Structures are given as structure tokens and as C-alpha cells.
Amino acid sequence: MTDVTVDTGYTSPSISALDPEAVRRRVAQRRAAEWRFQAYGVAAITFGLLCVALLFTVIVAKGWPAFLQSTLKLEVAFDPAVIDPAGKRVTDDIMAADYQALAAAAIYKQLGIAPDDAVATALADGLLSTGADVDLRKLVLADPSIIGKTQSVYLLANGNVDAVLKGAIDRAVPEASRQIKDQQLAWVDQLVTGGRLSKAFNWGLFTRGASSQPETAGLGVAVIGSFFMMITVLLVAVPLGVAAAIYLEEFAAKNRWTDFVEVNISNLAAVPSIVFGLLGLAILINFVGLPRSASLVGGLVLALMTLPTVIIAARAAITAVPPSIRQAALGIGASKMQSIFHHVLPLAMPGILTGTIIGLAKALGETAPLLMIGMVAFVVDYPRTPLDPATALPVQIYMWSTAQERGFVERTSGATMVLLVFLLAMNLIAVILRRRFERKW
């Protein structure tokens, strides 16, 4: 290109020297290209926002019925002959009684069916949840004096009845391929008009444990398990993370070791979460011998996973405190440790707290590592300590999502809504904290 000889007097063609019409056309083209490019950007953002909207719409649309549950109001006769034939009022005997029979008797009476009509009773049984006995047993154990009396009791209806009330079963489908029979449908309508069958807020979703029946399955165990895990994460990851951040930010010399630690932390933050689960399985369960399915193990795994997040947030918060504060403290004779713990740390606290909450939110929604350490467990009873078997909210969602029954499908989305509400609340707190304590130096 250098063989082109041009003397210094050569003037570049100016835009004013070009044909004005050609310039106008070219500028119009460039403006069109500019407009197209902006349109791509708007389209990308619109797509993202649509995804947000779609995601929430789908989950809420599928999940809200889970917060309502069909309930039967029945006059249950607590027949001593069924509950405690020996009449000794021993807990073991009361525990072992056939409560489902009580519930069944109540519904036969309500519908006017003879108890010896095998066909009708079988159909009527299908209106009741098979978990109704648990609730009745609880009632009797809480107050044995009701034995022998007749009381109005709210009992769970069967999942199919629930589906009918929520309009999820199409009555036009031929009886043979419908999960609920014509006779049962007639009864349902009769009970609804009689005010005996209605939908009520589903408290059981929050209080019950695992169950193979959707209507008696709840998030109780999962919520407690998640709570234990969050406490563990808080107690392990936050002190460790803040201490590590203080060391790296305030004390560590700039050398290879510090570099290594830093690279390590940023890499750890990007390690797939499932790998932390493998770590927990190999070390905490196989080597140390902690029990599987325990929320302590889950908490420790999540704590290790959250640690880099806390360290990074804490370091950012500590660097944001201006050096003048440290110098002021050192200048009046405080030791370095004193200047950090008395002055720097309190000022960095809001930032650390915000980072911690965001880390906790991430840990709360994490599923994969918990699958590795046996949190996929069928746990009926509330865990009392972090060493008892438990599940976690996202794991419960996973387990329900693999179940086929209609009731579980809505519960899966319902549980997701519960999880999302928790997460939104945590993020909101983080945002408020940040706004409240934001400080410009």
C-alpha cells in the first residue's frame, strides 16, 4: 500500500464534496442500521422480561389451587368399641385403633348408605382421604375424653374429589375412563349443596410431612429442614467468611500464597454445586460418619458452597471503608486489630449482611448437592435436631415433581411458590438493607 505516492498537499475527500444525494442516502442507511440495532436490544430485553413474566405466570397458575383443599365436615361418632374395645384407655391401644372405619361410618351415615352395601360403601370410601385416620387419631390422643361422643370434624376429602371441586376433572369424559364415578359425582354435588363439602385454606400444606397421598402431603418437614440448614450456613459460613475476608483484605501480604488463596476462592465460587454434594457424601458421610439425610450435613455442604460468596461480599464491603477511618483509629493509638474490630467491621457490616442474605437465598434454593447426601427422603415426622432425617424445600419440590398424581402436580407448583416467596422476601430485605445503609464516602 505504501507505493501509492501522495504529496502532503493531498486533501482527504470531505463529506461536503460528495454528491449530496449520495450522502443523504448513505446517512439514511446508517440511521436505519442504527434503528435496527436498537430494536435488537429492545427485543432482547423484552424477551427477558417476557421470560420472567411467563415463568411466574406458569408457576402461579399451576400452583395456586394447592393452597386450597377440599374438606368434608362430618359428624364422627367416636365409638369406644372401635377405638378402645378393652376400655383401658392405654395409649398403645388408642394408637392402634382403626380410625378410618370411624370416618367411613360417618360418611355412610351422612350419605344414608347401609354399612353392609358393599358396592356403595366402596364408592363412599373413595370420597375420603386415606389419611383421614391420622387426623382423627391426633384428635383422640389430644383429648381422650371425646371417646364415646359424637363431634363435627373437618376431614380431608380424597384427591379425586378435590380435583372435581377445582374443576380439574372433566365431567363429560365417559365414566369408565374417569377417575371418579357418576355415583360419587352425585354425592359430591349433594355434599356441596348441603354445605358439607367445601374448599378451605390448606394449612396442611405447611404443616404436614411426607405422604404418598397428595392431600396429606405437606412441606412441614422440608421447611424445618431448610430452616436448620440455613442456621448451619449462618453459623459456619458467616464467621469463617468474614474472618477470611478480614485476613485477606487487612493482613495478608501480597505474595504468591495470597494470590493462590484468592484464585482458589474465585474458582470455588464457580464450581458446580453438585460437586459440593459429592464432597459432602465422600467426606462428611463416608469418612466422618455423619448420618445421611441429616440437615446438619446439608447445612455444612451449603455452607462450604456459600463461603466464597460471603468472602467476596465481605471483602467488597471492607474495601469500601475508606483508609482514613483506619488511619484515624491507628493515629490515636489503637492496635491494627482494634482499628478493624472497633471501626472497620461495624462500618462494613451492612454490606456484609447484604452479601450474606444473598448467599443464604442462593443456598436456600440449591437442590443438586442435597440430592447427593440423601435428602431425597420420605420423612413423615418433624426433625427435632439437625441430626434427624429431613428434607429441604427445593428437594421436596423435586420429589413431588416426579410424582404422577394430579394433586402432586399442583403441590409442586404450590411449593415452588412458597420457596419463591421466601427468596423474594430475602432479596427484598437485602435491597432494603442496602438502600438504608448505603453510604457515600
Partner 1 sequence: MVAASDASVLNGSGAKTLTGPGAHSGKISARDVNVFYGENQALKSVNVGIPERSVMAFIGPSGCGKSTFLRCINRMNDTIAGCRVTGKITLDNEDIYDSKLDVVQLRARVGMVFQKPNPFPKSIFDNIAYGPRIHGLAQSKTDLEGIVTASLKKAGLWDEVKDRLKEQGTGLSGGQQQRLCIARAIAVGPEVILMDEPCSALDPIATARIEELIDDLRKNFTIVIVTHSMQQAARVSQHTAFFHLGSLVEKGETQQIFMAPTDKRTQDYITGRIG
Partner 2 sequence: MTRLLLSALILALGGAAYGLATDRARQLSGGKLSNLHSRLSYYGFFVALWTVLPALLLVIAWSIAEPMVMHSVVQSQLPADILTKSKAEVAMVDSSIGTIADGFQRLTPTELAAALASKTSLVDLLGSKGVALGTEPEAFQIAAAQQLNRWSDLSRYGITTIALGLAALGFVLSMFRLTGKLRARNAVEKIMLAGLVGASTVAILTTAGIVLSMLLETIHFFQKVPPQDFFLSTVWDPRFSAAGSTGTAGGQFGLLPLLWGTTYISLVALVVAVPIGLLAAIYMSEYASKRVRTVVKPMLELLAGIPTIVYGLFALISFGPFLRDAGAAIGVPVSASSVLTAGFVMGIMLIPFVSSLSDDVINAVPQTLRDGSLGLGATRSETIKQVVLPAALPGVIGAVLLAASRAIGETMIVVLAAGIAANITVNPLQPVTTMTVKIVSQLTGDLEFNSPQTLVAFALGLTLFTITLGLNIYALSVVRRFREHYE
DSSP class of 112: T
Distance CA 264, CA 437 (A): 31
At 197, is the secondary structure helix, strand, or coil? strand
Q: Is 198 helix (H, G, I), strand (E, B) or coil?
A: strand
From candidates 21, 23, 75, 433, binder to partner 1 by CB under 8 A: 23
- Strands 68-77, 150-156: pairing is antiparallel
Q: Which three cell numbers stand for residue 192?
A: 356441596
Residues of span 28-87 touching partner 1 by CB under 8 A: 30-31
By CB under 8 A, residue 423 contacts partner 2: yes
Place of cell 493515629: 331
> CA torsion sign, 141 to 146 to 152 to 158?
positive
Pick one of 126, 273, 319, 325: the residue that binds partner 2 (CB under 8 A): 273
Provide φ and ψ at 71, rounded to 5°: -130, 140
Give, as one character, the DSSP assignment of residue 9.
T
Residues in binding contact with partner 1, number by CB under 8 A: 20
Of 31 and 89, CB closest to partner 2: 31
Within residues 16-75, the interface with partner 2 by CB under 8 A covers: 30-31, 33-34, 36-38, 40-45, 47-49, 51-52, 55, 58-59, 62
Concatenate the DSSP letters of all residues of 274-337 into one string: HHHHHHIIIIIIIIS-PPTTBHHHHHHHHHHHHHHHHHHHHHHHHHHS-HHHHHHHHHTT--HH
Q: How far is the CB of 165 from partner 2 (least distance, A)?
A: 21
Joined together, the cell numbers standing for residue 399 give: 420429589
Q: Is 222 in the site for partner 2 (CB under 8 A)?
A: no
**Taking CA 352 as the corner, what is the angle to CA 351 and CA 355, rounded to the nearest 5 degrees?**
85
Total binding residues toward partner 2, as defined by CB under 8 A: 88
3 state DSSP class of 2: coil
192 makes contact, choosing from partner 2, partner 1, none, with CB < 5 to 8 Å by partner type, with none
Contact of residue 320 among partner 1, partner 2, none (CB under 5-8 Å per partner type): none
Rule CB under 8 A: is residue 16 a binding residue for partner 1?
yes
The verdict on 320 binding partner 2 (CB under 8 A) reads no
Q: Which does 17 bind (CB under 5 to 8 A by kind): partner 1, partner 2, none?
A: partner 1
User: Residue 360: which of partner 2, partner 1, none does it interact with, CB under 5 to 8 A by kind?
Assistant: none
- Burial of residue 297 (CB within 10 Å: 0-12, 13-18, 19+) is buried
**Closer residue to partner 2, CB minimum distance, 79 or 250:** 250
Would you count residue 279 as binding partner 2 (CB under 8 A)?
yes
Q: Is the Cβ of residue 16 or residue 402 nearer to partner 1 in the bound state?
A: 16
Tell the smallest beta-carbon distance from residue 315 to partner 2 (Å): 11
Could you list the residues that contact partner 1 (CB under 8 A)? 1-2, 4, 6, 8, 10-18, 22-23, 26-27, 30-31
